[in-house]
Amino acid sequence: MGKLDFNRDQCIRALMKIGFRDGNSRRGNHDKFLIPEYLESARNPSQHPFIVVPRSRQLHCQFAIIKELKKLGGEELTDKFLKNI
pTM for the structure as a whole: 0.84
Q: What is the pLDDT of residue 41?
A: 79
DSSP state of 44: -
**Number of Cβ within a 10 Å radius of residue 29:** 8
**Angstrom distance (rounded) from CA 39 to CA 27:** 26
Q: What is the pLDDT of residue 57?
A: 74
- The third-level CATH classification (topology) of the domain covering 2-84 is Metal Transport, Frataxin; Chain A (3.30.920)
Regions of the chain with pLDDT less than 70: 1-3
